[in-house]
Amino acid sequence: MILILLLSILSVSLAVDTALVSVYPFYDLIKEIGKGRFKTEVLIPPRADYHHYELTPGDILKVSKAKVVFVSGVPLGGWERKLGSLTKGKVVKLSRNIELIKFGRIGADPHLWLSPKRMKLVARNSYMGFVEVDPKGKRVFEDNLERVLKKLDKLDRLYSETLSKCRIRTLPVIHPSLGYLARDYRLKQIYLSGGHVHGGLMPKGLLSFVKELRSRGIDFILTVKGSPSKEVEVLKNEYNLKVYEINVKILPTKDTPDYFSVMEFNLSVLRKALRCM
């Protein structure tokens, strides 16, 4: 009986608070920064459609129990706007004080994670969020942040060095997901859909897009890995464009299990597509 009581007390003393991350691309960084003080979980399954997701009862329960909820701050869907009203914990906007790319009425580009430079700002925002809810853990968070920033600095240098030596300086995409990457590494993004993340197939617009690509000497298109597209099939089969897949959603695989390895994979794709030396 005494042993059971002691084990119960020990389990309570070892319990850690939960930090919840709205979407997977931010997960690895926040997990590392909260390590030792928080157990970090991701709310939306990595392969889910962020824009049309519906919260489940299990999701709502997770949100209600979390001590801190990290959201993009650039709502990826109606579900993300609801999180503040579903939790008693603190809601931290990861895009706080970060300059966003906006598309008029469409809203802001949420793909901060595709630029290592922006992710350094995201990391600092998550650090401040952790300190606000757990001041006693500040030293732990500082040490964790320092390690994460070193890894991001290394990734940033790799991107800067590689992308500075590319013959092609344009990123051709169907939907504008590479804007921060383009802006932060002196590239230009051109896209088909006029700013909407899920634009429809537009034959006239498609032809105009192909003409622009050819005028720039571009014979390829960058697409979202794991997301088939009618537009891409047309560009590939009717206009003979090469297709290069970018892991836009940072989906983990056996060979690329975390943010950093996925971003290195993305850079290898860009190096080949952009003819980098």
Spatial distance between the Cα atoms of 172 and 155, rounded to a whole number of angstroms: 23
Domains of the chain: 12-159 (3.40.50.1980), 161-273 (3.40.50.1980)
Which has more pLDDT, 86 or 193? Answer: 86
Spatial distance between the Cα atoms of 195 and 262, rounded to a whole number of angstroms: 25
> Could you report the per-residue pLDDT of 85-108, keeping only the tens digit for each?
999 999 999 999 999 999 877 689
> Could you report the per-residue pLDDT of 216-274, keeping only the tens digit for each?
999 999 999 988 888 899 999 999 999 999 999 999 999 999 999 999 999 999 999 99
> Could you report the per-residue pLDDT of 7-64, keeping only the tens digit for each?
344 333 345 899 999 999 999 999 999 999 999 999 999 889 888 899 999 999 999 9
Q: How large is the average pLDDT for residues 272-277?
A: 96
Closest CA to 73 of 39, 38, 22: 22
Count Cα neighbours of 4 within 13 Å in the Cβ-side half-sphere.
1
Confidence label for 200 from pLDDT (cuts 50, 70 and 90): low
| pLDDT reported for residue 16 | 82
| Phi, psi angles (nearest 5°) of residue 136 | -65, -20
| pLDDT reported for residue 4 | 43
Strand order in the sheet with 242-246: 188-191, 170-173, 220-224, 242-246
3-state helix, strand, coil in the chain (%, to 5): 50, 15, 35
